[in-house]
Chain A
């Protein structure tokens, strides 16, 4: 039997070095048994795949059949207007939203959000196609969807790359609500060709600034933060 000269523990006769300190085994009286049975197998296990594909197939079939059936009904039976476009668009929207979750989980989250942006924009365009009034798609819908997507991307980035707590997450959420409110009002006023200034969104902005100020103070004052944690722990 061999012992580790560093740790003093007895080693298995197949060990080439001590598993604790990596000191090589050097015992002239008992060479390492290279062909001996190892105490543990060398075969590496793999996790069984989760059957996500089945759910994805089911979802695709349900949405596709709904879209095709509604399209056929619109063409052959209820021919008034292109109402089936709303349902087909909605099916496409749901598919884009849910399929990355069910099929390809390694897809970048940012790319997924951009796909979602495209799907929502496409659905708005379908509505615009039916009601092409005042270029509302390009002047109102696209800026609002883009702003919302930008905030979602910022939120996702912050959550993934910074160490966040419930309080700091809440801080970010209120900051984004304030930004979204202001952005919404500006886009609406631009669309209505009104003078650009803020009214109702100013109220939202002030409320959010107060809440964020409070959260910032709590975050910076350790004692206060601990007190809030103590009193509000779940």
Chain B
């Protein structure tokens, strides 16, 4: 929640502006550990090589338009909060092979975003307490627009590009959960444990990426053949891959395969917020009922998503989570006790509810003048909390990218996933940062 109206003409008042963490944002710092932070990456591949000096200039101009991104995280007695970061930076850096590194809050300069460049790519990494993918895309598109303008191109402020000369709208900084969580029903918090991918854990500071570059029209045509949406089709393919993996593991006891899917709530509840505004859904296929054909998996996912993806269910989901933070007893419990309980809950229950994560940021639109400079966008869900794989999807024009991020050596899930796409007649180009010697 915005504590005080943001006034750009009075920079000295910055110290008084602080933000309560929103509902989702409260969870991520709790899970922080030496080798894990909830960091995700959005990147854009341009058609020309990136000039770091111009990019830094663009960043310096853009960051002031996004005060909720220029913050540091602090501990209160009962809750954490965000306050303006007055340290120098953030500074653009050469990209690295192991993105989404942990982001320690007490490290140098304490910024919660990082900007990298490599060849033609500009990458933005965000600590999840600051924003979700939807909010982050506004920042990235605006940054790229400012960068292109500095190179002499005319880019208008439309299609997600915000005007950097305007002060931020109050609604951009709001905690939208507070405004919309009003359902009277409470959903069950936990469900049965899902199948967990087993594999050889990579050493610290390693994040394996496998990126599939796919023509959007081809994959849309394939989804249409199954009479489902693109997201439903990709969810079904991932569940199919995980079921195959479980079968090949030869486990005596089978477990349900469940995906954790973040859903942007902006579609259901109008809000301009740039901060977190997501809810989770968990489509499941339980192999204990018997072997499922791919068509049956598609049906399961399709009907699950059609049943759950509506404003009422989403409201019930966020209201259930909000009820805990609104509870007076929970509020007066000291932060270290909350951290202890929440972390244990997540490790024992929350993390085991899903076999993998899949997010789809959907088709991205940019001003017509920007299109000719951009080849594609990528999104990376970042390091999983436990040894599993995460999948993130985004499309721009006729280029759709599916990025798998995992901290295990084996590539079984990714291999079945992309082979299934190939067998459905979808051409896939693979790029990876994997060091093949370790396999």
* A19–B419 CB distance below 8 A: no
Could you mark each residue 91-111 of chain B with 1 if its beta carbon is under 8 Å from any beta carbon of chain A, else 0? 000111111011010111000
A43 to B119, CA, bound (A): 13
Q: Which residues from A are CB-within-8-Å of B96?
A: 41, 43-45
A9 to B118, CA, bound (A): 25
Q: Given known contacts A21-B415, A22-B436, is B95 in contact with A10 (CB within 8 Å)?
A: no
Nearest B residue to A233 by beta-carbon distance? B190
A40 at the interface (CB under 8 A from B): yes
Nearest B residue to A22 by beta-carbon distance? B439
Return B70 CB to nearest CB of chain A, in Å. Answer: 18
* B107–A50 CB distance below 8 A: yes
* B415–A37 CB distance below 8 A: no
Q: Which residues from B are CB-within-8-Å of A231?
A: none
* B436–A9 CB distance below 8 A: no
B residues 73-119 near A (Cβ < 8 Å) are 94-99, 101-102, 104, 106-108, 118-119
* A20–B119 CB distance below 8 A: no
Q: How large is the interface on B (under 10, 10 to 19, 20 to 34, 35 or more residues)?
A: 35 or more
Q: Which residues from B are CB-within-8-Å of A21?
A: 411, 415
B341 at the interface (CB under 8 A from A): yes
Option from B99, B422, B434, B439 in Cβ contact (under 8 Å) with A8: B422
* B341–A234 CB distance below 8 A: yes
* A40–B205 CB distance below 8 A: no
A42 at the interface (CB under 8 A from B): yes
* A12–B430 CB distance below 8 A: yes
* B101–A45 CB distance below 8 A: yes
B66 at the interface (CB under 8 A from A): no
B174 at the interface (CB under 8 A from A): no
Return B18 CB to nearest CB of chain A, in Å. Answer: 22
B40 at the interface (CB under 8 A from A): no
Q: Which residues from A are CB-within-8-Å of B432?
A: 15, 19, 39-40
A residues 25-43 near B (Cβ < 8 Å) are 37, 39-43
A46 to B93, CA, bound (A): 12
A17 at the interface (CB under 8 A from B): yes
Q: Which residues from B are CB-within-8-Å of A44?
A: 96-98, 205
Option from A16, A46, A51 in Cβ contact (under 8 Å) with B106: A51
Could you mark each residue 124-150 of chain B with 1 if its beta carbon is under 8 Å from any beta carbon of chain A, else 0? 000000000000000000000000000
A18 at the interface (CB under 8 A from B): yes
A62 to B404, CA, bound (A): 50
* B108–A45 CB distance below 8 A: no
Q: Which residues from A are CB-within-8-Å of B23?
A: none
Q: Which residues from A are CB-within-8-Å of B433?
A: 39-40
Q: Given known contacts A44-B205, A47-B104, is B119 in contact with A19 (CB within 8 Å)?
A: no
Q: Which residues from B are CB-within-8-Å of A81?
A: none
Q: Given known contacts A10-B428, A12-B429, A40-B431, is B107 in contact with A49 (CB within 8 Å)?
A: yes
Nearest A residue to B418 by beta-carbon distance? A9
A42 to B99, CA, bound (A): 11
* B419–A47 CB distance below 8 A: no
* B107–A20 CB distance below 8 A: no
- Which residues of B does A touch, CB under 8 Å? 94-99, 101-102, 104, 106-108, 118-119, 189-190, 205, 209-212, 341, 344-345, 348-349, 411, 414-415, 418-419, 422, 427-434, 436, 439
Please list 22 pairs of residues, one from A and one from B, whose beta carbons are closer than 8 Å in the complex, sorted by A's number. Answer: A7-B418, A7-B419, A9-B212, A9-B429, A10-B429, A19-B434, A21-B411, A37-B119, A40-B95, A40-B431, A41-B95, A41-B96, A44-B98, A44-B205, A45-B101, A46-B101, A46-B205, A47-B107, A50-B106, A50-B107, A51-B107, A165-B348
Q: Could you list 8 further interchain pairs (A-B, Cβ under 8 angstroms) beyond the known A18-B430, A40-B431, A47-B102?
A: A7-B418, A9-B212, A9-B418, A12-B431, A41-B95, A47-B107, A49-B108, A52-B106
Report the 10 A-B pairs with minimum CB-CB distance, sorted nearest first.
A48-B107, A19-B432, A45-B96, A40-B433, A39-B431, A10-B429, A8-B422, A20-B415, A41-B95, A9-B428
